[in-house]
Each structure stands twice: as structure tokens, then as C-alpha cells.
């Protein structure tokens, strides 16, 4: 099982022979530049996700073939400023056999599901997410591969949530769709494949990653045992600008570690040694085993968890409610400027 990263050619080899009707069409357009979408500071999110957790498939169209061999490919492309754009991009171009998974519909709590976190993209309950992943054809034995067009800003949320469900067999396509198309590999257009739904529900297992709540963060401010790493752009951390949340700044004591520091210019994760050096530096004084990552709404912080796994250091916890939850609490303090 692949549990961290997979490159485009490795994925193609996994798929080879499992898709008999793969079209030869090659990508005609490249995804957005990584730097333009890693930070969501120029977008306004949709705060009212629709109440469905069923994969989006048009069954009036001819169904595309899903991979055989217990492989599921999920395209998690999203645009905070235009929540429908990710699916539109998927319809125009995606990896053969992929299914589209939506941040608002599938990866955030709905009105009838008590959330595990607050903020703009609250985590669904593990039980609800187990129902969702089963509808994508995922079983405990499935190798899941996730990707996006957003320099992994959104697909690693899927990786984290599956690990929190207890599913270790999930890997991120390093470099996303951009890496796939630049390798000259085939793509499809139209609706994704329609999976076979497992008869048994997906079993909720032991979490493989850690989740922090607002209470945990408040308690930590008092005891100071863990360092918080803020994955947002530095100008949002400092409070120079805040386009989404009610207050500008950062959680007291947090250090700025923008998500962009984890990636090369081509959207691929930096090497394990580079990531390890970054993690050791940003957690200095606390140790790599005492870190918590957060961002605006619990999405772009998740690459910080995967980066630690790539670097083979202890995984940081995720404060999933992140600054969008913290800044809405009446009894929380917000700092501006740079921390000493």
C-alpha cells in the first residue's frame, strides 16, 4: 500500500491494464500555478454546503470505467471563491477512472450531522464520513489515490480524513494533475466512473492522526507544551489582511509556517530531508513531537501532517477548526504582527 506520496508514473503503472477503455486524449491546458492557489487569502468561501454526501455522477451519461484491483482515485479540486469550479474542471479533464469528491458536500459536516470541529469547513463525524467513503467504493483493503489542481491544498484534507477514519492505504499524487499531464499521460472528459458500492459499511477504525479542539488550544496557551504552526500566508498571520474571518491576526504564541514552504515551485512536496529540516527549525524549543498545525479552516494545514510523515518525524496534531473557529469565539485572544 502507498501511504504518503505516489508519482504520476507509479500511478499509471497501478492503473495499467485495469482500464480497458482509457482514451488517448492528452491534456491541452495546464492547472493553475501552484503559488496562486496554495493560499486562499484572495477567495471568499461558501459557508452553506449542500446536504448530500453522495458522489456526484450523472447516470444519464455513459458511465466511465472504474479501475479494477481495488483502487479508487479521487479528484478533490476546489475553488474557495467559486465552489462549483472544481467539479467543472473535473468534467473538462481528469485522470481516467477518477471520481470527484467535493470539499463542501463530502468533506465538511452537513446540517444533520454533529460536526467534530467548528469553522468554515467543519469536520463531519467519523460515522458520517464512513458512509461517504463507502459510496465511493472504498473498503479497508482499497488503495486510494487523491489529487487536485491546487498544489495539494485540498486533496491532503482527504488523505488526513481517511487516516482519521483509520484507513492507511491512501496516497497523494505528488504534483497533482499538473504532474500527470506534464508526464504526457492520458486524461478523460465528462462524468467520472460510477463505483460498485460495498455491501458492508466502512468500519470506523482507530484514528491514525490526531485532532485538537478549541479547548485543547486554550489549555495549551496556559501550559505552553506545544507549538502551533500557522499555515496561512504571512500577511494573514500578521493581521495585515483578513478577507474571510471576523478578526485578523493569529492564535497567541503561534509561529508562521506557510504551507508554501513545504512545496517546490512545481507543486511537488520538497524532499524528506528538506521537510525534516523545516520541521526541526519551526518547532525549535518544543521538539518535533509537540506541534499542532492550523490554517484558516482546517484544509491547507493538512499538508503539514503529511510532510511530517514524509520526513519520518512525529505527526503534528491538526486544529481542524483553525482560525475561522478561533476568531469567532467570544473569549479568545488574537495577536497581530510577528511573534518573537
Residue tagged 499542532 (cell numbers): 292
Helix axes 302-311, 155-165, angle to 10 degrees: 70
Total Cβ atoms within 10 A of residue 292? 23
Give yes or no for a contact between 38 and 153, defined as CB atoms under 8 angstroms apart: yes
CA distance 313 to 279: 8
User: Catalytic: 66?
Assistant: no
Which whole-number Å values give the CA distances from 267 to 149, 189, 223, 261, 263, in the listed order? Answer: 9, 23, 37, 11, 6
CA distance 111 to 64: 32
Question: How does DSSP classify residue 82?
Answer: -
Which listed residue (66, 155, 193, 295) is catalytic? 295
CA distance 115 to 100: 22
Which is nearest to 135 in space by CA: 207, 66, 190?
66
CA distance 261 to 281: 12
Which residues are catalytic, by number? Answer: 295
Amino acid at each position: 500500500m502507498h501511504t504518503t506520496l505516489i508519482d504520476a508514473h507509479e500511478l499509471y503503472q497501478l492503473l495499467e491494464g485495469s482500464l480497458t477503455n482509457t482514451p488517448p486524449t492528452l491534456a491541452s491546458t495546464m492547472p493553475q500555478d501552484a503559488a496562486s492557489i496554495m493560499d486562499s487569502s484572495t477567495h471568499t468561501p461558501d459557508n452553506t454546503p449542500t446536504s448530500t454526501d453522495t458522489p456526484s455522477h450523472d447516470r444519464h451519461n455513459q458511465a466511465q470505467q472504474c479501475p479494477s484491483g481495488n483502487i479508487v482515485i479521487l479528484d478533490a479540486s476546489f475553488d474557495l471563491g467559486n465552489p462549483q469550479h472544481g467539479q467543472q474542471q473535473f468534467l473538462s479533464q481528469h485522470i481516467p477512472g477518477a471520481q470527484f469528491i467535493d470539499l463542501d458536500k463530502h468533506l465538511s459536516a452537513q446540517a444533520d450531522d454533529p460536526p467534530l470541529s467548528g469553522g468554515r469547513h467543519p469536520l463531519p463525524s467519523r460515522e458520517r464520513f464512513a458512509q461517504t467513503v463507502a459510496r465511493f467504493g472504498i473498503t479497508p483493503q482499497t488503495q486510494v489515490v487523491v489529487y487536485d489542481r491546487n498544489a495539494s491544498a485540498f486533496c491532503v484534507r482527504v488523505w488526513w480524513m481517511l487516516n482519521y477514519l483509520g484507513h492507511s492505504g491512501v496516497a497523494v499524487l505528488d504534483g497533482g494533475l499538473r504532474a500527470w499531464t506534464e508526464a504526457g499521460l492520458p486524461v478523460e472528459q465528462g462524468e467520472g466512473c460510477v463505483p460498485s458500492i460495498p455491501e458492508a459499511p466502512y468500519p470506523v477504525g482507530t484514528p491514525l492522526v490526531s485532532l485538537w479542539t478549541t479547548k485543547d488550544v486554550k489549555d495549551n496557551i496556559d501550559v505552553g507544551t506545544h507549538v502551533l504552526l500557522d499555515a496561512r500566508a504571512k500577511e494573514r498571520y500578521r493581521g495585515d489582511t483578513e478577507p474571510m474571518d471576523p478578526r485578523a491576526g493569529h492564535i497567541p504564541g503561534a509561529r508562521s509556517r506557510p504551507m508554501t514552504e513545504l512545496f517546490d515551485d512545481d507543486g511537488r512536496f520538497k524532499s524528506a530531508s528538506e521537510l525534516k529540516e523545516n520541521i526541526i527549525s519551526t518547532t525549535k524549543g518544543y521538539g518535533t513531537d509537540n506541534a499542532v498545525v492550523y490554517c484558516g479552516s482546517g484544509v491547507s494545514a493538512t499538508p503539514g501532517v503529511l510532510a511530517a510523515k514524509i520526513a519520518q518525524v512525529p505527526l503534528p496534531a491538526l486544529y481542524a477548526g483553525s482560525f475561522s473557529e478561533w476568531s469567532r469565539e467570544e473569549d479568545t485572544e488574537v495577536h497581530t504582527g510577528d511573534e518573537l
